[in-house]
Amino acid sequence: MVCGSCASFSTFVVRDHSDRVYENRKEDARKVVIFAAYVLEECGGQLPRVHDVAALAGWEHEDADMAQVAVGHWWYTFSTMNEGERKQRVAESAPDEATKKALRDLAQCKVRDHGNRDVEGDSRRVRILATYVRKNGLPTFRASAALAGWEHEGADVAQVEVYQWWYSFSRRNGGERKKRVAASARDEETQEALQYLAQCEKRDKENARCDVEGDSRRVRIFAKYVLEEFDGQLPRQGDVAELAGWEHEGADLARVQVGQWWNNFSGRNGGERKKRVETLARLARDEETQKALRYLAQCDKRDSKRLKRRRN
């Protein structure tokens, strides 16, 4: 048997849940009508991209003022998330003809063709990046820069991960975005920027090959440092040391991020830099560098401070 209070409470909970479901469905139906009008009138019948935003009236509630709405995100959540559960609920119980018509109109819409807009944006960013590179050189791994106009024409200064952007733009999917800009950009400034950046990449690769001698010198300095200061244990990622001759032969003492340098030298891109030094040392019969490399290959990583505390 269920007491009267429990039965009453149970009925209240069920009613409360049903009311919320009804209100949510009614709210989604109103938004569908507003969204469909926006797509047809403002986007030429093309659905917004996921990051698109629009100023819409009546969105939060009936007669609400204009508000900035993440329309792309809303449409994705409404129509796709949980297998389009919210969209199906509205379609099954659309309360009026306006909602049904809005759903029919939206079903015929295609995703916006963003190719031209992407090319325009990427062309602008290529020109901005070329200006940055002329002053600072090609960005290194994880490099970021404060750049104006990056997101859109006239945008304020923003922090941009320039290395990550250039890598994605020029290499991902076979450099698809870069090829699209090269084929579509008709302005001379963008073409010159692309040519300039291509030459910089070529010079950067040539400089990397030329710097094998520098890396060989640093390997010898690093091996001596590991032997004398850490008794054969490799530095941790954040370790820093003062080393002479690091930047060039005869250079004064300089603070060097030895842990990060070793990780980059021996691990990044499959240890490409380390392999180049090994090859050169073998061909040049540089016994000192070969000995340093053999010694470092036998060294273990230093125990982390956390492990030391745990053991103590």
Query: 131-156: buried (b, 16+ CB within 10 Å) or exposed (e) per residue?
Result: ebbeeeebbeeebebebeebeeeeee
Query: What pLDDT, on a 0 to 100 scale, did the predictor assign at position 161?
Result: 87
- Selected residue with higher pLDDT from 208 and 133: 133
Residue 126 CB coordination number (10 Å) = 26
- pLDDT-derived band at 248 (thresholds 50, 70, 90) equals confident
Q: What is the DSSP letter of 61?
A: S
**Residue 32: what residue type?**
V
pTM of the model: 0.38
pLDDT digits (tens, 9 = 90+) for 70-107: 888 899 888 887 778 889 888 888 768 899 999 999 98
Place of tokens 């008794």: 231
Confidence of residue 144 (pLDDT cuts 50, 70, 90): confident
Strands 254-256, 241-243: pairing kind: antiparallel
| Contact (CB, 8 A) for 165 and 125 | yes
What integer is the mean pLDDT of 173-193?
85
SS3 content of the chain, % helix, strand, coil (to 5): 65, 10, 25
Give the rounded distance of the alpha carbon of 90 from its chain centre: 35
pLDDT of residue 273: 85
Mean pLDDT, the chain, integer? 82
CA nearest neighbour of 170 among 182, 187, 153: 182
Are 36 and 108 in contact, with CB atoms under 8 Å apart?
Answer: no
List strand residue ranges (DSSP E) for 118-277, in order. 145-147, 158-160, 233-234, 241-243, 254-256
> Can you give the pLDDT at residue 250?
85
Give dist(CA 182, CA 120) in Å, integer: 11
Structure tokens of 89? Answer: 């609920």
What would the two tokens of residue 213 be? 């001698």
Three-class DSSP category at 185: coil
Q: What is the pLDDT confidence band of residue 213, given thresholds at 50, 70 and 90?
A: confident
**Residue labelled with tokens 């370790």:** 239
Q: How far apart are CA 294 and CA 100, in angstroms?
A: 74
Helix (H, G, I), strand (E, B) or coil at 43: coil
Percent of the chain with pLDDT over 70: 83
**Cβ atoms of 53 and 34 closer than 8 Å:** no
pLDDT above 60 for 58:
yes
Amino acid of residue 127: R
- Beta 67-69 vs 110-111: how paired, if at all? unpaired
pLDDT at residue number 306: 41
